[in-house]
A = this chain, B = another copy of it.
Amino acid sequence: MAGSSYGTLFTVTTWGESHGPAIGVVIDGCPAGIPLSAEQIQVFLDRRKPGQSRFSTARKEADQVQILSGVFNGKTTGTPLSLLVPNTDQRSHDYSRIKDCYRPGHADYTFDAKYGFRDYRGGGRTSGRETIGRVAAGAVASLLLEELGIHLTTYTRSIGPVQVPASTYDYFCIHKNSLYMPNLEYAQAAEDYLKTCMEQQDSAGGVIECVITGLPVGIGEPVFEKLDARLAQAILSIGAVKGIEIGDGFAASASLGSSNNDAFYIEGNEVCKRTNHSGGVLGGLSDGSPLVLRAAVKPTPSISQPQQTVTNDGQNTTLIVTGRHDPVIVPRAVVVVESMAAITIADLLMTNMTSQMEHLKKFYK
C-alpha cells in the first residue's frame, strides 16, 4: 500500500492538505453494529482543535466532522466510514513567503526532492492538520475498544525539562489543565516555561505517555506485527515524534535481568505480574498488564527567530517564519498519540480472533 493507509483489517486511509477544501479519512473494516454519531467523533476532534489555550495556534477552525458513509440508523454498517472535516480558515497568503525556501526542521526540502515540487501552503500534506483524519479514526477505534472494556489514558508527561514524576500522577487532573498533564503543579511550572519560550520566540517539545488497560492477553502477531512493533510504527508516523519506548524502555537497557524480569504469580485464577517493567508486552504480545508507551515529541520547528536556510534554487538565505504556530504541539498531540494507539489495537484485536482452530470452529458451528 502507498503510505496513506494503515492497518490490515481495521484500515485507515487519510487524505487532505492544510489548505485544500477539506481533510478526511476512510475507515474500512470497522465491524457492523457499533453505535456511532458525529458528536462522538467531535469529542475527540475537539481535543486537538486549535485555539484551546494561549499555547496553540490562533488559526480558527471549527473542525466539524461529517459522516458521509458507513452509518445507517445510528449504527456502523460494516462498509467504509468516510469522515470529512472542511477547512474553513485557509489564509494561504500567510505562506507565500516560504514558497521558495526550505524551513529548517520541516519537510519542505525533502518533499521537493521526492515529488519535484510541493504544495507549499501551510505545509500541505505534512501539516499537523493531516492528523484530523487520524483522530477521527481514533475516535471510532476508541469506541470499539470501549465496548470491549479497553480504555486508553493519555497525557503529557513532560514539557521541555518539566517532567511530572510518575509517583505524583493524578489522572483526574489531566483534563483540568490545557497541557493535559496529570499534575496541576507541574502543569503550572510547564506553563511558566512555555511563556518564557514564547517571549524568546522559541518553542518546546515534550513526552506523551499512553496507558492502555483492559487488553486481553495475546494481542499482537509474531514476528513483524508484534504489538509493540506496530505501535512503534503508528506513533513514529506522527510528524514530530522522534522516539518511542515501551515499559521501562531505554532505562531497561541499563538494568539487570534480575530486576527487569517481572515475576508472575496467581491471584484468583488470573496470571498476574508483580511489576510491569515490560510495559504490558512480552514477546510482542499483550501480557495482561497495562500497556505503557511514551513518545518523544520534538520542539515545534516553526519559530519566529531568524534562521539560516536555503532557497529551492540553491541560494543561502535567512528566513523568518511568521504565521500562526503553536509554541508547543505536545498538548494537541496527546489525542493523536491516543488515536494511533487505539487504531493499532483495534486492528490487532481483530486479527487475533483467528489464532486458534477452536475459535473458527466455535464461530462457524
B1 touches A8 (CB 8 A): yes
B349 touches A34 (CB 8 A): no
> Interface with B: A57-65, A170-178, A284-292, which one?
A284-292
Residues from chain B with a CB closer than 8 A to the CB of A10 are: 2
B203 touches A130 (CB 8 A): no
Instruction: Name the interface residues of A259-312: CB closer than 8 Å to any CB of B.
Output: 260-266, 269, 271, 274, 278-279, 282-288, 296-303, 305, 307-310
Complex: A226 Cα to B197 Cα, angstroms = 29
How far, in Å, is A313 (CB) from chain B's closest CB?
10
Closest B residue by C-beta to A31: B357
Q: A105-B262, A265-B308, A271-B102 are in contact. Are A256 and B202 (CB under 8 A)?
A: yes
Residue in B2, B26, B68, B207 whose CB lies within 8 Å of A221: B2
Closest B residue by C-beta to A109: B271
How far, in Å, is A28 (CB) from chain B's closest CB?
4
Closest B residue by C-beta to A29: B2
How far, in Å, is A26 (CB) from chain B's closest CB?
5
How far, in Å, is A363 (CB) from chain B's closest CB?
5
- Which of A9, A107, A161, A232 has the largest count of B CB atoms less than 10 A from its CB? A232
Complex: A1 Cα to B9 Cα, angstroms = 6
A31 touches B253 (CB 8 A): no
Q: A13-B28, A253-B296, A261-B301 are in contact. Are A118 and B77 (CB under 8 A)?
A: yes
Complex: A117 Cα to B78 Cα, angstroms = 9
> Interface with B: A43-51, A179-187, A243-251, which one?
A243-251
- CB of A235 closer than 8 Å to a CB of B: yes
- CB of A191 closer than 8 Å to a CB of B: no
B77 touches A261 (CB 8 A): no
Contact flags (1/0) for A13-36 with B, using CB distance below 8 Å? 111110011111010110111100
How far, in Å, is A2 (CB) from chain B's closest CB?
3
Instruction: Name the interface residues of A167-226: CB closer than 8 Å to any CB of B.
Output: 197, 200, 202-207, 216-218, 220-226
Contact flags (1/0) for A329-365 with B, using CB distance below 8 Å? 0000000000000000000011111111111110111
Residues from chain B with a CB closer than 8 A to the CB of A22 are: 68-69, 82
- CB of A40 closer than 8 Å to a CB of B: no
How far, in Å, is A42 (CB) from chain B's closest CB?
17
B247 touches A244 (CB 8 A): no
Complex: A46 Cα to B167 Cα, angstroms = 46
Complex: A76 Cα to B125 Cα, angstroms = 12
Contact flags (1/0) for A118-129 with B, using CB distance below 8 Å? 110100111000
- CB of A91 closer than 8 Å to a CB of B: no
- CB of A239 closer than 8 Å to a CB of B: yes
- Which of A109, A286, A300, A354 has the largest count of B CB atoms less than 10 A from its CB? A354
Q: Which 10 A-B pairs have the closest CB atoms?
A: A107-B283, A2-B29, A3-B221, A114-B218, A243-B245, A203-B257, A3-B225, A233-B233, A110-B285, A232-B232
